[in-house]
Amino acid sequence: MYPSSKAALARWARRTAVAEGWADAGIALNVLAPGIVLTPMSAGLFDDPEMKKVMDAAVPMPLNGYLRPEDVARAVLFLASEGNSHITGQVLYVDGGAEATLRGPETF
């Protein structure tokens, strides 16, 4: 269910971003796809060696490892800022390279 809901959200954003009342009104609509974030809620997973092994295999993050909440916040702030003048309808992967690693170079 998780992968299909992520795909549905991405498609919705892509379609809606260019629908009337969004881009034509100056509103950028994007999706942020973070990797594994170090939070109090996820702390127990990191303490369990077996779960950490599962996470590392499921979401490999070769660039700088796990995210801190402020790493995600910086991406959100940029997308919501005036500096973002032309990015809309996109999925921004803030995942340390997990999506690219899992998808592989042969799909580009």
How many C-beta atoms surround the C-beta of residue 43 within 10 A? 9
User: Which residues pair with residue 67 across a beta bridge?
Assistant: 37
Amino acid at 12: W
Across the chain, mean pLDDT equals 92
Amino acid at 95: D
Active site residues: 2
pLDDT digit string, tens, across residues 64-84:
999 999 999 999 999 999 999
Is the pLDDT score of 41 beyond 70?
Answer: yes
CB–CB of 72/10 below 8 Å? no
pLDDT digit string, tens, across residues 14-29:
999 999 999 999 999 9
Closest CA to 55 of 40, 43, 71: 43
Closest CA to 18 of 96, 94, 88: 88
